[in-house]
Structure 1
Amino acid sequence: AVLETFLSNPDRHLSADDVYSLVKSTNPEIGVATVYRTLELFRELHIISEQDFGQGMSRYECASDDSHHHHIVCLSCGRVWEFSSATLERVERQLAKEHDFEVAGHNLQ
């Protein structure tokens, strides 16, 4: 049921509470601990990826073999948009080379 929730909502970035609410609507017997354990298992198996958008909770999305992408997050409503930018990737590589460091991650605010 948890996997079906992600497959039915491929463009959403769901919190654990979102997943629990969606699953519980069709499977009322499911417990919140089961959802958390399943999310952790799916993350370890690279079925989903976990994102921290600085809202005090993790969000999850279907893992993808597609190229690296970024997220824009509305600070008012929490909505998340995905985008890719060759320019941003190029600037990141250039800065790393100029300053002799390796980029482990980034967060633009």
Structure 2
Amino acid sequence: MNDQAESARKLEDALRAEGVRITRQRAAILRVLAEAEDHPDATELHRRARDIDESVSLATIYRTLAALEEQGIVHRHTFEGTPSRFETAEADHHDHIIDVDTGDVVEFRSDKIERLQAEIAAELGYDVVRHRLELYCRRRRD
């Protein structure tokens, strides 16, 4: 079984655990989520799922996302000025750069930033439990 198929199976298992039946439409949504290499919003998920099964409704997208989010299997990102975007929770921790001109989302990981955050928290008497870093940027025009 490839990584995408395994990811789709985990998403199906999470929905079944919530008592949600895996319909043809939901299977299409799960496949799209498992294959996504970006952070699609609900409208984009709907468009991609309809390429697989044209009977997928936007309401089914929202219900499915809500169930997956409740299970902690999908993360919702609400970047300033854009609709909520979604990604599976399987990915290793990463932070985001949001291009303010295009809306593109770039994932990155920096050990320096991770260490600095832990140091700052420790200096103030805390341990980092989780965090989210979003940098809103504009591409340089050199």
The Cα of 1:106 is off from its aligned counterpart by 4.6
Amino acid at match of 1:22: R
Tell me the TM-score normalised to structure 2 length: 0.67
Matching residue of 2:8: none
Q: Distance between the aligned counterparts of 2:134 and 2:85, measured in 1?
A: 18
Q: Distance between the aligned counterparts of 1:46 and 1:65, measured in 2?
A: 12
- The verdict on how the C-alpha distance between 1:4 and 1:28 changes in structure 2, with shifts beyond 3 A counting, is same
Matching residue of 1:69: 94
Q: Distance between the aligned counterparts of 1:89 and 1:102, measured in 2?
A: 12
Matching residue of 2:72: 46
Amino acid at match of 2:50: K
Query: Tell me, which stretches of 5 or more residues in structure 1 are unaligned?
Result: none
The Cα of 1:29 is off from its aligned counterpart by 1.6
Percent identity for Structure 1 against Structure 2: 30
Amino acid at match of 2:106: W
Asked if 1:5 is matched to 2:32, the reply is yes
Query: Tell me, which stretches of 5 or more residues in structure 2 are unaligned?
Result: 1-27, 136-142
Q: Secondary structure at the match of 1:53?
A: coil
Q: Distance between the aligned counterparts of 2:125 and 2:99, measured in 1?
A: 33
Amino acid at match of 1:41: A
Amino acid at match of 1:8: E
Mapped contact 2:50–2:56 kept (Cα < 8 A): yes
The Cα of 1:55 is off from its aligned counterpart by 2.5
Q: Distance between the aligned counterparts of 2:75 and 2:132, measured in 1?
A: 16
Correspondence for 2:109 among 75, 84, 88:
84
Q: How many residues align?
A: 107
Amino acid at match of 1:82: E
Q: Distance between the aligned counterparts of 1:99 and 1:13, measured in 2?
A: 33
Tell me the TM-score normalised to structure 1 length: 0.84
